[in-house]
Amino acid sequence: MGKPPNFEINSWLEGEPAFAEYPQLEADLHTDWLIVGAGFTGLAAATHLAQLRPADRIVLIEGSRLGEGSASRSSGFVVSLGHFDGSSRETAALYRLGTAAIAYLREQVQTHHIECDWNEAGRMIAARGNPGLGSLKRIRRALDRAGSGYTPVSSQQIKQTTGMSGYVDGIRQDESIQVNPAKLHRGLVESLPANVEVFEQSPVLSIQRKSHWVAQTKTGSITAKRILLTNNASVTKLGHATNRVFPMQTYIGVFQSPQNESSLFGDEPNWGLTSVERVGSSVRRVKDQLFIRSGAICGFAEGQNSAQQYKEIVDLQRQAMARRFPQNELECINVWSGGIGVTANGSQFFGQAGEGLFLSVGYNGHGIAQGTISGQLLVDLALARESELLHCIQGLPKPWWIPRPSLLYPIVDRYVEWLNWRYGDEI
């Protein structure tokens, strides 16, 4: 089927200018604040903190090259509500946080003229089989409890909009947004306040409490009065949230018609549809290409996947596309992976972990919105600034305890196998 696909090339940045380069930490320095992790959580925290404390020194440090980390590799859904299994109180709080995040990001995009293909069309959530229909009913109930707007979409409407076959029922979650995540990430980096110093390609290897906090990298150290850890599942490498958060790698494939017949992909040039189930495939159309998120493995593997893992993922995604477009053979041109932080019950880890140490990680695949609002609120927590939103996030359930990776990963693998069997129509 054509030439083999590329691997680990981020198609969101195809044809776009590269991120500006920032220095690597190569010395020892002292700062008032250190923020570890420059994803959406870290960027929101840095911006909010710089506005509240313009005289403080603020350092934002990223382990990878900006633009190459997970923040720029997602499928680009910014959702007002993505967790549908909680109580009415939890659902209402999450919805309040999600809509606040979208409002903040919309303001940033407009204020700083960030070109990120911001799309207010919402996202479709649709089912392909009977078990999925049960999940769709549960999602509708959660949205009703939260007061979140949605519009029913029939199988015929889904077919007309997307060109995809096999969906039996769905909704359009009206308030959710679609973006190019890499372009949004770059725009937020470039609009950071002037009193935020950025270092990249400087992974923090350890943090220790002495008279102040000391973060050590290979080529330097940072002594800080206060540290905000916003590096998602990588926080476990620093010895924090190890029994609450674990890493998973998800995969995005890019497909196109070999004959460039983009009319196969429906009436709308840009649309997004997510599955009713976590193991299901989510698909976005961006002009002449389809982006499918499908497949996941436990652990840290970004950029380190074996040839066999790539083959299995490509085969899985090709099969998923064949079910959706049975009359047309689509060509896979690229596949890449990105890490997410996962908890056993879908609740994020947020709070204070020691004197002057604060964490917000573990968004279960909803990091653009959830991470953004959490970064702002983590600053409010560190500064003891009371707010309705801070009370919302502090009132959410805490992540469940999980065993060490050697025990956990086989359990997760078996659970995913069961989900694949139970909801196989959704893949």
Distances, alpha carbon 34 to alpha carbons 66, 68, 203, 229, 380, in Å? 17, 21, 13, 8, 15
8 A C-beta contact, residue 117 and residue 13: no
Please tell me the total count of domains within the chain: 1
Strand partners, 31: 224
Domain presence at residue 306: yes
8 A C-beta contact, residue 271 and residue 124: yes
Residue 319, helix vs strand vs coil = helix
Q: Which of 191, 200, 7 is nearest to 113 (CA)?
A: 191
Domain presence at residue 10: yes
Which domain, by its residues, includes 307? 6-426
Domain of 257, CATH number, reads 3.50.50.60
The pTM for the full model equals 0.96
8 A C-beta contact, residue 205 and residue 217: yes
**CA dihedral (293, 296, 300, 304) positive or negative:** negative
Strand partners, 293: 252, 282
Pairing state between β 77-78 and 177-178: antiparallel
Domain presence at residue 357: yes
Domain presence at residue 1: no
Domain presence at residue 305: yes
Listed in sequence order, the residues at least 6 apart from 340 whose beta carbon sits closer than 8 Å to its beta carbon are: 70, 232, 233, 247, 248, 249, 250, 363, 364, 365, 367
- Write out the chain's pLDDT in tens, 427 residues: 456 687 888 899 988 888 899 999 999 999 999 999 999 999 999 999 999 999 999 999 999 999 999 999 999 999 999 999 999 999 999 999 999 999 999 999 999 999 999 999 999 999 999 999 999 999 999 999 999 999 999 999 999 999 999 999 999 999 999 999 999 999 999 999 999 999 999 999 999 998 899 999 999 999 999 999 999 999 999 999 999 999 999 999 999 988 777 789 999 999 999 999 989 999 999 989 999 999 988 887 655 677 788 889 999 999 999 999 998 889 999 999 999 999 999 999 999 999 999 999 999 999 999 999 999 999 999 999 999 999 999 999 999 999 999 999 999 999 999 999 999 999 9
Domain presence at residue 416: yes
Length of the chain: 427
